[in-house]
Structure 1
Amino acid sequence: MIREAEGKDIEQLFKLYRMLVPNSKKMNVLEEQIEKIRVDPMNFSLVYDEEGEILGSVTLNICLQALHGLRPYGVIENIIVHENHRSKNIGQKLMQHVEAYCKSIDCHRIMLLSNSQRLKAHQFFEREGYSGSVSNGFKKYL
């Protein structure tokens, strides 16, 4: 089942995020931040939970804008499926859940960035209908 992450999920989320960014020295998963996201109506940390085991996760941020009337847009971050449970449609279910929610609130679009080295992830995103050739992604770490 897909549900919002809770503070008690911190250890399992940490393990998933470590699979996403194995060499990160800046990773700092905090229970209070998970809870802060959980109560924020514009931000979602979603998990795919199977009998208490978290097998996947995605973060969705809803952003307001002035360009398209009242229509917001969604930004997907930190999508990860446990390495022992890939190719079981977990990622697809998470993405479909996000898309259904974004449609329900009349989002204009959904965007995501992906590390340029994650070629299998890029193939997955393209299968889900995302185009890597529409825009260029740029980041500046602070």
Structure 2
Amino acid sequence: MNPITIRKAKTDDVIELSELFYEFIGVGSDLTAMKIQIEITSNNPNYYVAVACDGNRVVGTAMGIVCYDLVGNCNPFMLAENVVVSSEYQGRGIGKLLMQALEDFGQMNQCNYVILVSGSKRETAHKFYESIGYSPDHKGFKKRLKQQI
């Protein structure tokens, strides 16, 4: 196994990203739309889509989005989304590397905090997030506005 590296996602990563997301949620991705989204987010300084690589193979990903805030010092906060590590690579510290990359991005953007949502039954993920300093002392809610096809 090669040392794991973290880098910004590229449009060439869409097939491997799609495979990761399929493994995670069992839903296929529109590769053309994903490629367009990666191009858009790559050019938007408020987005960071990180990928973890074992050599040239993408084995994990996480996305950070800097959001403006109107409260207190009005510094932004960051939303973490699409955090996935291939089951073959879980337990090797890759999730920690990805989350650290997002937190570094958030600190560079002077974010006050990071928020994320994790499915209520994903106990292993919850333990992971707690182990890296995320507090479960808030309750999150999610409402789907559009059904995935």
Instruction: Report whether the alignment pairs 1:136 with 2:139.
Output: yes
Task: Tell me how far 1:61 sits from its aligned partner.
Answer: 0.4
Q: 2:7 aligns with which of 3, 9, 17?
A: 3
Give the distance between the partners of 2:72 and 2:66, measured in 1 at CA.
Answer: 14
Q: Which amino acid aligns with 1:11?
A: I
- The amino acid across from 1:49 in the alignment is C
After TM superposition, the structure 1 = structure 2 runs for residues 1-142 of structure 1, keeping only pairs within 5 Å, are 1-22=5-26, 24=27, 27-29=29-31, 30-132=34-136, 134-142=137-145
Measured in 2, the distance between the counterparts of 1:104 and 1:39 equals 17
What secondary structure does 1:40 align onto? coil
Greater shift in the superposed pair: 65-74 or 85-94: 65-74
Letter aligned with residue 41 of structure 2: I
Q: CA deviation at 1:127?
A: 0.1
Q: Which runs of 4 or more aligned residues in structure 1 lie more than 3 Å from their structure 2 counterparts after TM superposition?
A: none
Deviations along 1:6-32, whole A, 9 cap, x unmatched? 11100000000112211x37x434211
Contact 2:66 2:109 in 1 (8 A): no
Q: How large is the Cα RMSD of the aligned pairs?
A: 1.3
Does the aligned pair in 2 maintain the 1:20–1:78 contact within 8 Å?
no
Q: SS of the residue aligned with 1:47?
A: strand
Q: Percent identity?
A: 29
Secondary structure at 1:35 match in 2: helix
Provide the aligned length of Structure 1 versus Structure 2: 139
Tell me, which stretches of 5 or more residues in structure 1 are unaligned? none
Segments of 5+ residues of structure 2 without an aligned counterpart are none
Structure 1 CA distance for aligned equivalents of residues 45 and 130 of structure 2 = 28
